[in-house]
Amino acid sequence: MAALEQMHIGFERALAELRHIARRYVLLAEPFSDCNDALGRLYLWAHNYFRMRIGQLPAHGLEPVRIWKALPVKPTFAHALVLCRPR
């Protein structure tokens, strides 16, 4: 939960490792930019924070199966839960 958002450098390697060790599913809880409204995306951008979109996961070998958007975690931006299947 909220691990990728802390990895400005190296999140690609972390996703590759998750894909490698997962048997059936990976559950990610991250502040994906496409689960935030305009204000949340602006906050993430202005603070040079996590900017990954859910649609980028297949490029890293993770296929989103189910998405729960806009889970309030912080007052400035929202997180999403994304259940993925490794490909």
pLDDT of residue 29: 92
Tell me: pLDDT of 2 over 90. no
CB 3 within 8 A of CB 14: yes
**Residue 23 CA: distances (Å) to CA of 4, 16, 18, 48:** 20, 13, 10, 33
- CB < 8 Å & 24+ apart, contacts of 36-39: 36/70, 36/77, 36/78, 37/78
Of residues 80 and 51, more confidence is placed in 80
Q: In which element (H, E) is residue 46 found?
A: helix 38-46
Domain positions in the chain are: 4-86
| Residue 20 binned pLDDT confidence (cut-offs 50, 70, 90) | very high
User: What are the b/e assignments for 63-85, b being 16+ CB within 10 Å?
Assistant: ebeeeeeeeeeeeebbbbbbebe
